């Protein structure tokens, strides 16, 4: 299995290349778009000879490495084909547009030795060197780099590694609005998510204020709302990244895979229909946490499995009896009378469904967590 990670690195990109590449893309777009046939079903007729002729034409005053022209042509063919697909569905504008000044750098255009990327700008005379080892957050144990994407201010680097996921044991995570309850190495652990909750709350207050403004200045309020949403997401993502990085490290130490709740189920449908803000936030947190953790574990060669969480906080983990509320977050089994915290019940059931427990380990855990 291949694990992939992407990183953004600030670079001073060669402005001349960025500008010339953009011009070449615009020329290529004019030519390639003229090969779009507007018969009943719109399609592209652009054969090898025509492609070669375009390439030769574009290379005439091109002083940079030739592969850039190939990547520009490829990206424009992709752009036009994407536009055709949309057009045939009746959802495209009048003409495809190049929206960003990005350069796709094929693997033939760079080498990577001892963590230093050497990107060819002009053949045999001009290079851009980027020392990846300067960026501590980029892993050093990758096998290969994928294609690079360069913008005016940054380089997006993709690193790859082949992994064979395996685990000696399993951990489980149950994510709520203000906390995460986990079982790691047979023990219950709690992670505080109140910081995340406060981020969401603070922005909700801002949004409400904006909505009052929307009648007076609809454009301004729309723009500000967008900005707030983006900031909220970024701050929340940042927090989840830091949290999952720590969790992933902990799990690697005990070589533990992870059991998570499968979201496509009844509970999810209930949440979708809900207008309740807390429930929406809770769902967002769960998705973001799961996605981020899985991404990090994949790189470490640790497997992730999903189990159906149906009734997981209402079923007794000891006797499968049903649990009834016993005040606040506390639940009591109607059959065997064990009293446990609702979050502990949920995560315990996930663990049992995903991996099981030995009777002894289960008894020990219940003894520690039992509410007296
Ligand atoms: Zn019970």
In the structure encoding, which two tokens stand for residue 249, read together?
Answer: 């490290």
Identify the CA nearest to 67 among candidates 128, 134, 120. 120
- What is the 309 CA–ligand 1 centroid distance (Å)? 18
- What is the 172 CA–ligand 1 centroid distance (Å)? 21
Q: Is the distance from CB of 292 to CB of 303 less than 8 angstroms? A: no
pLDDT of residue 141: 84
271 — pLDDT class (breaks 50, 70, 90): very low
- What is the 337 CA–ligand 1 centroid distance (Å)? 6
Distance CA 100, CA 102 (A): 6
- What is the 355 CA–ligand 1 centroid distance (Å)? 20
Residue 304 — φ and ψ, nearest 5°? -130, 135
Q: Is the distance from CB of 192 to CB of 343 less than 8 angstroms? A: no
72: Cβ–Cβ under 8 A, 6 or more apart, which residues?
21, 24, 25, 28, 58
Cα→Cα distances 26→15, 32, 96, 106, Å: 17, 10, 11, 19
Residue 169: helix, strand or coil by DSSP?
Answer: strand
In the structure encoding, which two tokens stand for residue 77, read together?
Answer: 């063919």
Distance CA 180, CA 343 (A): 8
User: To 10 degrees, what angle do helices 218-253 and 277-300 make?
Assistant: 40
User: To 10 degrees, what angle do helices 194-213 and 277-300 make?
Assistant: 130
pLDDT of 265 above 80: no
275 — pLDDT class (breaks 50, 70, 90): low
Q: Is the distance from CB of 235 to CB of 201 less than 8 angstroms? A: no
- What is the 336 CA–ligand 1 centroid distance (Å)? 4
**Parallel, antiparallel, or unpaired for β 148-150 and 103-105?**
antiparallel
Q: What are the pLDDT digits (tens) for 68-110? A: 999 999 999 999 999 999 999 988 888 999 988 999 998 899 9
Distance CA 169, CA 96 (A): 51
Q: What are the pLDDT digits (tens) for 298-351? A: 999 999 999 999 999 999 999 999 999 999 999 999 999 999 999 999 999 999
* One-character DSSP codes across 174-229: EE-SSEEEEEETTEEEEEE-HHHHHHHHHHHHHHHHHHHHTTT-HHHHHHHHHHHH
pLDDT of residue 216: 85
- What is the 323 CA–ligand 1 centroid distance (Å)? 7
Q: Which of 15-24, 141-150, 326-335 has the lowest mean pLDDT?
A: 141-150
- What is the 366 CA–ligand 1 centroid distance (Å)? 11
Identify the CA nearest to 322 among candidates 336, 307, 309. 336
Q: What are the pLDDT digits (tens) for 162-218? A: 999 999 999 999 998 899 999 999 999 999 999 999 998 898 888 888 888 888 888
- What is the 317 CA–ligand 1 centroid distance (Å)? 7
- What is the 279 CA–ligand 1 centroid distance (Å)? 28
- What is the 328 CA–ligand 1 centroid distance (Å)? 19
- What is the 315 CA–ligand 1 centroid distance (Å)? 8
- For the domain bounded by 169-193+242-369, which CATH number is listed? 3.30.420
pLDDT of residue 136: 85
Distance CA 35, CA 23 (A): 19
Q: Is the distance from CB of 318 to CB of 336 less than 8 angstroms? A: yes
Q: Which residues pair with 158 in a beta bridge?
A: 6
- What is the 356 CA–ligand 1 centroid distance (Å)? 17
Cα→Cα distances 193→1, 95, 242, 272, 341, Å: 32, 47, 12, 22, 17
41: Cβ–Cβ under 8 A, 6 or more apart, which residues?
88
Classify residue 308 by burial, with Cβ atoms within 10 Å: 0-12, 13-18, 19+: middle
- What is the 343 CA–ligand 1 centroid distance (Å)? 16
- 29 compared with 276, residue with greater pLDDT: 29
Sketch the domain layout of the chain as residue ranges. Answer: 16-104, 105-162, 169-193+242-369
Distance CA 294, CA 279 (A): 22
Distance CA 72, CA 69 (A): 5
- What is the 331 CA–ligand 1 centroid distance (Å)? 10
CA count, 13 A, side-chain hemisphere, 263: 14
Q: What are the pLDDT digits (tens) for 22-56? A: 999 999 999 999 999 998 789 999 999 999 999 99
- What is the 360 CA–ligand 1 centroid distance (Å)? 16
In the structure encoding, which two tokens stand for residue 226, read together?
Answer: 């967008």
């Amino acid at each position: 299995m291949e694990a992939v990670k992407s990183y953004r690195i600030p670079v001073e990109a060669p402005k001349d290349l960025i500008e010339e590449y953009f011009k070449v893309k615009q020329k290529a777009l004019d030519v390639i778009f003229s090969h779009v046939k507007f018969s009943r079903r719109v399609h592209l007729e652009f054969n090898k000879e025509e492609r070669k002729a375009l390439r030769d034409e574009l290379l005439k005053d091109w002083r940079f490495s030739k592969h850039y022209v190939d990547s520009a042509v490829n990206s424009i063919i992709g752009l036009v084909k994407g536009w055709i697909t949309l057009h045939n569905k009746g959802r495209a504008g009048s003409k495809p547009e190049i929206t960003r000044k990005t350069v796709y750098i094929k693997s033939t255009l760079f080498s990577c030795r001892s963590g230093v990327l050497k990107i060819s700008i002009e053949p045999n005379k001009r290079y851009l060197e980027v020392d990846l080892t300067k960026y501590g957050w980029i892993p050093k144990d990758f096998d290969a780099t994928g294609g690079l994407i360069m913008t005016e201010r940054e380089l997006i680097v993709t690193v790859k590694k082949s992994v064979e996921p395996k685990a000696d044991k399993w951990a489980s995570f149950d994510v709520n609005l203000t906390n995460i309850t986990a079982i790691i190495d047979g023990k219950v652990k709690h992670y505080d998510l109140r910081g995340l909750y406060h981020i969401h709350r603070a922005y909700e207050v801002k949004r409400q204020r904006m909505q009052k403004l929307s009648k007076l200045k609809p454009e301004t309020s729309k723009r500000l709302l967008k900005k707030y949403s983006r900031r909220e997401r970024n701050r929340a993502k940042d927090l989840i990244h830091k949290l999952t990085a720590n969790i992933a490290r902990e799990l690697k130490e005990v070589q533990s895979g992870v059991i998570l709740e499968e979201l496509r189920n009844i509970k999810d449908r209930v949440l979708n229909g809900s207008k309740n803000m807390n429930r929406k936030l809770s769902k967002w947190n769960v998705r973001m946490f799961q996605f981020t953790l899985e991404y990090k574990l994949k790189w470490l060669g640790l497997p992730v499995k999903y189990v159906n969480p149906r009734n997981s906080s209402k079923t007794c983990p000891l006797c499968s009896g049903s649990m009834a509320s016993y005040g606040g977050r506390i639940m009591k089994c109607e059959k065997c009378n064990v009293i446990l915290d609702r979050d502990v019940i949920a995560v315990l059931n996930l663990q049992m469904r995903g991996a099981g427990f030995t009777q002894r380990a289960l008894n020990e855990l219940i003894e520690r967590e039992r509410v007296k």
